[in-house]
Amino acid sequence: MTPEYVLQHFEETEALLEGHFLLSSGLHSPKYLQCALALQYPKDAEKFGKAIAEHFVDAEIDTVASPAIGGLVIGYAVAASLNKRFLWTERQNGEMTLRRGFTLKAGEKILVVEDVITTGGSTRECIAALESNGGEVVAAASIIDRSNGAADVGVPRVALVSLDVPTYTEEQCPMCFHGDKPIKPGSRR
Ligand SMILES: [Zn+2]
Distance 15 CA to ligand 1 centre (A): 20
Taking the CB of residue 5, how many other CB atoms lie within 10 A of it?
14
Contact 134, 127 (CB under 8 A): no
pLDDT tens per residue across span 119-137: 888 899 999 999 999 999 9
Distance 95 CA to ligand 1 centre (A): 33
Amino acid of residue 168: Y
pTM, to two decimals: 0.91
pLDDT tens per residue across span 138-177: 999 999 999 888 899 999 999 999 988 888 999 999 999 9
Distance 45 CA to ligand 1 centre (A): 33
Give the H/E segment covering residue 45: helix 42-53
Distance 174 CA to ligand 1 centre (A): 7
